[in-house]
Chains A and B, each alone.
Chain A
Amino acid sequence: MKKNRSGGSHSWKKDLRLLPGYLILTLWVVFTFVLIGWVFAASFATTREIFKGEALSFPSGLHFENYVKAWTSQNVSVFFANSLAYASISSILLILICAPAAYVLSRFKFFLNHPIQSGFVAAMGVPMVMIILPLFGIVTQMQLLKQDVTVRLLMIVLYVGINVPYTTIFLLAFFSNLSSTYEEAAAIDGCPPMRIFWKIMLPLAQPGIVTVSIFNFINIWNEYFMSLIFANNDRVKPVAVGLYSMIDSMKYTGDWAGMFAAVIIVFLPTFIIYLFLSEKIIAGITAGGIKG
């Protein structure tokens, strides 16, 4: 008992010693909350109230119609649906393509194994400017930017393609850590190797697959440069580029409240994912970062 109490007073002293640290972090965190909180509040106010500095007091109540307006008249619903489709389809395809590749690279020795791994690692550092021009040239030559359907398919292929190296390397580290006793046992029972992968190894890798899929989803949701170049009309644009063209047009309409509502609509999906999965995301970053 006595020991505990002295431990308690010690930790009080310790907290006091750490006070500068607490202050710095708290300041930063408060600023983050003010930044997002104010924009959130402003998305429920009217443009006039925002300009009068009354965004936080809501003199005329909450204006949900900002969201309705942004969602319907400003095309946000289309951008949102596009991003949702691009991000989720690409994330699933990435697992179907990269998990088998990562598994083979982690389990078998063959002469191209090491070069492929190094190539993938190097590709993670390749700036987009190095690849965008030929891609654009080829795609226009193939007349793929003329129809909405082909643009959509192209976007998915590109999103999958640029994330192949990262996803494969991430999953590779994960498969390497799985014990091979499972496969040996299954092989003795006469299960063919490809079946072993789909039935046993893939389910075992589930935690890694979930983490990397969250990353892929967030990255694709927020991707900007490629969409700017390839998604050339409002019907196929994802949210990031769509939001940019909305802000651009807002200069003429002056609907600040609607713009803040659109910002929140773009912000919410990844924020909600983060709210529930921040621990998993942070663990994934640190695991991946150390390797790189």
Chain B
Amino acid sequence: MKRNKTMIIVFLTPALVLFCAIFVYPILRTIVMSLFKVENITSGIAQWQYVGFQNYKSLATTSLFKTSLLNLLRIWAIGGMVVMSLGLLFAVILNSGIRFKNFFRAVIYMPNIISAVALATMWIQFVYNPRFGLLTSTFKLLGMDSLAAINWTDTTHKFWALLFAYCFGMVGYHMLIFSSGIEKIPQELFEASTIDGASKVQQFRLITFPLLRSVLKTNITMWSITSVAFFVWSQLFSMVTADTQTITPMVYMYLQVFGAGNVISERNAGLGAAVGVFLGLCVVIVFVLTNRLIKNEDLEF
């Protein structure tokens, strides 16, 4: 038993030390920091100036931050609905007994393993390019000149172009999660309901969907976690520093703390920390809400 004790300590220490250094301590320090005015991010705690909830209040009155929050909300809600619907649709099709299931599945998931910078570049420089892009040349070929003339990455179209491209990359992951949920549903349920005369649509509505609740929960949680970290795509779609069309809270935080000049109203890393705490809270709230709203029925298969 003594031997086991030393083994537990020796085996756990490296992982725990890293965990505390990279997660526990920084999280606590971010929370504390969000209550202080911190002029220079490198300054020690002694030089911080306590301001209470002032940072949060000043965020609530900053219009650029509110814009960024609204963008994030749109990405999360609209993008989420698109990705969940397509992911579920593809998962259902994959499990309906089609041939080449593994091939389709592998290709649809593939964008997830590509570097986001490379994938976004492919979209911006090829699909959306106003001179030789896929959309422009396709519309030209079809004779729809008014559509062909649209610059998809200009201010009016940028947000939707960004969202569409982002969703394309995300569908694969959520499809896999849905698909693994569907695979777990016992085949007998479908067979029995077919004998009873249920149509495919009825089967989906009454069997597949209700049994996918816990998987849906996983998907919403994962989607929220990735949405909150929305950053690279914004940066690639707008090379200018602060673009109201694509800015997200994470971009705002980056500009506030690390960025060059033009958007920063005051030098205060505490504001950045407040953004971080706020986003962390959003994830927790979504997690709690989905767990409340979508009840697990603890079905055993």
Contact = CB atoms under 8 A, between A and B. Distances in A.
Contacts of A51: 131-132
Interface in A38-64: 38-39, 42, 50-53, 55
B221 A125 contact: yes
A129 B179 contact: no
Interface string B181-224: 10000000000000000000000000000000001001001100
Chain B interface category by residue count? 35 or more
A133 interface: yes
Contacts of B116: 222, 224, 240
B19 A123 contact: yes
A161 interface: yes
25 contacts: A18-B96, A18-B98, A24-B90, A25-B94, A32-B107, A34-B134, A51-B132, A101-B15, A124-B225, A127-B229, A127-B250, A127-B280, A133-B29, A133-B33, A133-B41, A160-B18, A161-B21, A164-B19, A224-B115, A229-B258, A271-B113, A271-B114, A281-B113, A285-B177, A286-B176
A28 B108 contact: yes
Interface of B: 3-4, 7-8, 10-12, 14-16, 18-19, 21-27, 29-30, 33, 41-44, 89-90, 93-94, 96-99, 102, 104-111, 113-118, 121-123, 125-127, 131-132, 134, 137, 173, 176-177, 179-181, 215, 218, 221-222, 225, 228-229, 231-232, 235-236, 239, 249-250, 253, 257-258, 269, 272-273, 275-277, 279-280, 283, 287
A23 to B, nearest CB: 10
A158 B21 CA distance: 10
B279 A130 contact: yes
A274 B41 contact: no
A21 interface: yes
Contact of B250 (A32, A129, A247): A129
Contacts of A193: 3-4, 7
Given A133-B41, A158-B22, A279-B102, A270 B93 contact: no
A221 interface: yes
Contacts of A267: 114-115, 118
A185 interface: no
Nearest to B253: A129
A170 interface: no
A165 B111 contact: no
A101 B132 contact: no
A225 to B, nearest CB: 6
B12 A101 contact: yes
A126 B215 CA distance: 20
B125 A97 contact: no
Contacts of B16: 101, 116
Pick the most buried of A36, A229, A259: most chain B CB atoms within 10 A of its CB.
A36
Interface stretch (A1-9, A68-76, A134-142): A134-142
Q: Is the interface of A mostly helix, strand, loop or mixed?
A: helix
Contacts of B42: 137, 140-141
Interface residues of A, number: 96
Contacts of B122: 35-36, 39, 263
A126 to B, nearest CB: 6
B228 A127 contact: yes
A91 interface: no
Given A282-B105, A285-B173, A161 B121 contact: no
Contacts of B44: 141
A14 B287 contact: no
Contacts of A218: 113
A289 B16 CA distance: 24
A133 B126 contact: no
B7 A32 contact: no
Contacts of A104: 7-8, 11-12
B283 A134 contact: no
A63 to B, nearest CB: 16
Contacts of B105: 282
A282 B26 contact: no
B30 to A, nearest CB: 5
A133 B222 contact: no
